[in-house]
Structure 1
């Protein structure tokens, strides 16, 4: 059984900052919205719970780089920062090219850059983890069950238009989730019982 979790005594400690807590930029989103074409300047902002949490200005140099312009306040002093991030275009199998960021710290080819300590970088350089990496078996099975329920609905009835075989496969996965959760609960209960 794998160890992990962020609760007390759950295995490895959750010492990394989670990616869901940081400001991030995704080159795939910008490419889909057509923001990486032509010489242009646009602003990008973040919200959490409907409240604005930050924004940056982005200057695009087509086919080569983006310049991120933003300001931060340290010890009451406001500093303007301009950071250049190279763009790498990799050809796709059936034509066209897909853009990637080149991490300004380590030069890795990445799709997402995170802002931490006032600078952007890839998740390796910024020591960023995903929340799911700290989950235990119970939390993972609950998350998987939520995903399946989004497909079939909470009443667990076959949606109109879904093939019977697909529905049966999803129901098997649901039963598997419940079984894994019960096994994890039994193991945790045994550990607790024998530790007394």
Structure 2
């Protein structure tokens, strides 16, 4: 669909990561301007798993009340959890807000829902997705990041021909050179892996 390198290649079953789960981020809530008492709202995820769906929340003074649903023995159960806030002063004035993890009480910006509770990534023992990456995954990710910056497509086969508006020629030349070096390394790794799987009879 998105061209070579746009999907996952021969990846075994992995641990759940921070990017695979519904999460609440206090920085995002502050940016949206919802961190004031008695503010009602909702989040909704579209993940393809039972955790998908809406989560209602209400801001109280010093805490966040969240309501969400889970399936248990073919019944839908509503869960309610209270998450406390904390704040620290910023060097240039103002305050920085934090969640206090309901389990360990550590200041964190983000909480993740796993096993029907919202906790910090340390309590859930969650790795970042980059920690699960193979060398091939890392090459594809780096290439696609550069290609997005250069206005290219998701296919590692297609060269980036046009300089984005406002980008200096020297910057474009340097980034393009880096992108092609990384993309060629990724394509070679994919080709080598495909050839190995064909020799083993693991591909039709």
Q: Given the two structures, how large is their TM-score scaled by the length of structure 2?
A: 0.73
Q: Aligned match of 1:148 in 126, 140, 146?
A: 146
Report SS of the residue matched to 2:46: strand
Report SS of the residue matched to 2:111: strand
1:183 deviation in Å? Answer: 8.0
> In the alignment, which residue of structure 1 is the partner of 2:164?
159
Report SS of the residue matched to 1:128: coil
Gaps of 5+ in 1: none
**Matching of residue 168 in structure 1 with residue 173 in structure 2:** yes
Distance 1:112 1:71 in 2: 20
Distance 2:96 2:168 in 1: 34
Distance 1:171 1:47 in 2: 35
Report SS of the residue matched to 1:177: helix
1:168 deviation in Å? Answer: 2.9
Q: Considering only aligned residues, what root-mean-square deviation do their CA atoms show, in Å?
A: 3.1
Report SS of the residue matched to 2:104: coil
Distance 2:93 2:126 in 1: 33
> In the alignment, which residue of structure 2 is the partner of 1:135?
133
Q: 1:80 to 1:160 in 2, by over 3 A?
A: closer
Distance 1:55 1:130 in 2: 24
> In the alignment, which residue of structure 1 is the partner of 2:83?
85
**Matching of residue 17 in structure 1 with residue 13 in structure 2:** no
Distance 1:188 1:45 in 2: 38
Q: 1:181 to 1:86 in 2, by over 3 A?
A: same
Gaps of 5+ in 2: 1-8, 153-159, 198-204
Larger strand percent: 1
> In the alignment, which residue of structure 1 is the partner of 2:29?
30
1:179 deviation in Å? Answer: 6.2
Distance 2:35 2:123 in 1: 24
Q: 1:188 to 1:42 in 2, by over 3 A?
A: closer
1:67 deviation in Å? Answer: 1.1
1:72 deviation in Å? Answer: 2.4
1:162 deviation in Å? Answer: 0.6
| 8 Å contact from structure 1 (residues 37, 60) kept in 2 | yes
Count, aligned residues: 181
